[in-house]
Structure 1
Amino acid sequence: MKQTIILIFVSLTAYGLSASDQQPTTWTNPYFYYHYNTPLDLPTQKVSTDEKAGNQQQLFTNYNDHSMQNTLGSHVVLLTTCLRDLKTTKADLVHTHSEVETVKKELNKLKENSQFNSTSIQILANAMATVENLKKEMITKTDLAHTTQRLDETHASRVESLKKELKSSQAKMETMLNVVESVKTEFTHVLSSFEAMKKELNANAASSIGRMPKSCDDLQKIGHRKSGLFSVMGDKTVDNVYCDFTKTINDTGFQKVIGHVDVKTSSVYFHAQRSSPYTTRNTVIPFDLLRLNVGNAMSVTGIFVTPKPGKYLFIYSGIGEIHVVARVEMQLKTATVDWSRIGQAYGGITHQTFSLQANLELAKGDQIRLMLLEGAILDNENHYTNFIGQLLEEEILP
């Protein structure tokens, strides 16, 4: 019975709340609120003492009739609105009263019955279950609200932490960007230096004109830029020249020849001697001792074969036999000319010394010999006979 009364009370409360929501609120009407709370402001009028003592009808007519008409019209509208709202409210009250009476009758019927039928019990059970579910839902909503609050607090805390981390990361990123910019600048500088070195290396790279340089102009073409002494090929020699690369090619001071360079691909010189007299006329004087024979150009047979082209110096000296006039001739044989005389030397009848010198420009393969044309040559262990030859200047072929 107690549960039944609670259910009916809940139903009445819900109905009353719904009815109150449907009733119009007259006092919140904007028009009524304005005219109810705002008093009528009549225009002020200064009136003299004589006019106050005069006709009151005349005083009343001094007010603005138009303003009074507007004010009366507004009150009429207000009263009409109030009457309409009152009628609506009265109808709602009558309907509510009828509903309440109906509920009272049902309560009376329930009181008369000591027990509920099965349908009522089921309805009550459903209502109780609904109430329990509502309570659980309210509890769940409360927990959800608390959880939401905690989540919001955690979110706010996490957001603040993330903001701090973001600021820290941003500062680190800016530092890294500065470092990157510094490295980029340094790299650009290194790259510029590398390009400059590359250009310099390209300018100083190995190059060739396809032949030996013959002038300062050729040296400049193959990359020489600093002035100084250089060796260049002459017609048949190596010339030493001074190149002034600060001047133009057509300038007289661009190239100055200093002289020739004593260049030999290999040395050639010999020293031949005899140890006994020689008396066979019209024959080549042989030698039985070669003290030097660098280049292997001299033979003990007395024939010298030129190993390389160039300028050579030959010197011969000896002593003639007593009571005999000795005559020795130096001869040359080339590729085009058979043995020809270069010069002769004579010795007196009293062991006089005679000598012969020659400075020759020879080609490779040319031959030199000494011929005894007359008399006899004296010689023994004292080695009076000496034949010397030497390459002075080699002819360098381009």
Structure 2
Amino acid sequence: MTKISFIFVIWVWPCVVYGQLPFSNYDYHSYYIPYTSTFVNQPIMQTNDRTEVHLGGNDDVTPNTKNAILDFAILSRIQQLEVTIAGFTSDLKAMNNQLDNKAERQALYITNQKVLALSNDVNAIKSPSSINKMPTSCGDLKDIGFVKSGIYSVIDNSKVENVYCDFTKPSDAGLQKLIGYVNVKTTPVYFYAQRTGFYSTTGTALPFDDVKINIGNAMDTSSGIFNVPTPGKYFFAYTGLCSDKDTKIQLQNQTGAVTWTAIGESHCTPYNALAIQATLQLDEDDEVQIYLLEGTIHDGDGNHFSNFFGWLLEEDLVL
């Protein structure tokens, strides 16, 4: 038995049992509803005479057989329609998936473009940039690419300043606020020197034979001359003791080709103290010394009455 025949038997048998496919000689009625035992209008039993349908020229085919064949044809058509509907459904799903994929690709493309734009912005911020000079203000820092408000160092008039930059403000008036100055030195410069004995050679610089400290090596202790290593503001001071006669000293400065110039002078009577100090604006290679005009500097026995010291207060940075 084939699969179709088996299905046909399984389908016909309940119809026979429940009276939906009668084996009596009812003629086929156009108002008969398949799969139920109910008629819209109950058929009137008739004799099987001229109303009998001839199929394939075989007069021996009974009405019940004809009904079964027609029902089987209807079932086959329904199955074909179901297959067609299933195909349409599959096609609709495929089209819907294609539309969804297209929308997703479009959304993904837009997202990728946004990510690319953000990446370019980040790279622009991270990329090195310059204004071809040292920044002198918050405006210069902003031009370089700084965006985070905070305290920054800038250089102005050969000095380093600490400023607060508020990069949310558009104008220079609110953009920058001075905090203070930064004590920046390219190299530290300071010294402290003493004498260990008397000195009476007038008309010469006072030498120092006991150097306690000489950072920057600017002090030539053998000659007693300080050579300026870097431009800026310097402080100098000297204290000493006169011997048994009146004594006079000068603090002198020499700039370039200009001869030595007195910055200050100090006098003392016998066995009294000498003192002189000054703050000077000096250029590189300027020189400073303590000059004995007359008298004698008293020292000895390890007393260290003569003391000369100085240091760089503030350097003028060369840009």
Q: Could you state the TM-score of these two structures normalised by the residue count of structure 1?
A: 0.52
Unaligned runs of 5+ in 2: 1-89
Aligned to 2:135: 213
| Offset of residue 178 of structure 1 | 8.5
For 2:295 and 2:209, how far apart are their aligned partners in 1? Answer: 20
1:307 alignment partner AA: P
Aligned to 2:155: 233
Aligned to 1:138: none
Match of 1:282 among 203, 206, 216: 203
Check if 1:363 corresponds to 2:294.
no
For residues 247-293 of structure 1, give each alpha carbon's deviation from its aligned partner in whole angstroms, at most 9, with x where no partner exists.
Answer: 2225x222222222111001011111111111111111111111111
Aligned to 1:320: 242
| Offset of residue 191 of structure 1 | 6.0
Aligned length: 235
CA contact (8 A) 1:205 1:223 kept: no
Aligned to 1:273: 194
Aligned to 2:122: 200
2:133 alignment partner AA: R
- Structure 2 CA distance for partners of 1:189 and 1:319, relative to 1, 3 Å: same
CA contact (8 A) 1:345 1:354 kept: yes
For 1:237 and 1:207, how far apart are their aligned partners in 2? Answer: 23
For 1:344 and 1:261, how far apart are their aligned partners in 2? Answer: 34
For 1:178 and 1:274, how far apart are their aligned partners in 2? Answer: 96
For residues 219-243 of structure 1, give each alpha carbon's deviation from its aligned partner in whole angstroms, at most 9, with x where no partner exists.
Answer: 1111112222222121121122222
For 1:354 and 1:366, how far apart are their aligned partners in 2? Answer: 25
Q: Which has the higher helix share?
A: 1
Match of 1:377 among 283, 294, 297: 297
Aligned to 1:139: none
SS of match in other structure, 1:337: coil
Aligned to 2:313: 392
Q: Percent identity?
A: 40
Unaligned runs of 5+ in 1: 1-167
For 2:102 and 2:207, how far apart are their aligned partners in 1? Answer: 89
1:366 alignment partner AA: D
SS of match in other structure, 1:342: strand
For residues 347-366 of structure 1, give each alpha carbon's deviation from its aligned partner in whole angstroms, at most 9, with x where no partner exists.
Answer: 232x2222111100100010
Higher relative contact order (CA 8 A, sep 6+): 2
| Offset of residue 185 of structure 1 | 6.3
Match of 2:181 among 244, 260, 284: 260
Q: Which has the higher strand share?
A: 2
**Deviant stretches of 4+, over 6 Å:** 174-188
SS of match in other structure, 1:378: coil
| Offset of residue 208 of structure 1 | 0.9
- Report 1:79-98 matches (<5 A): none
1:246 alignment partner AA: T
For 1:183 and 1:288, how far apart are their aligned partners in 2? Answer: 87
For 2:259 and 2:119, how far apart are their aligned partners in 1? Answer: 63
For 2:100 and 2:209, how far apart are their aligned partners in 1? Answer: 91
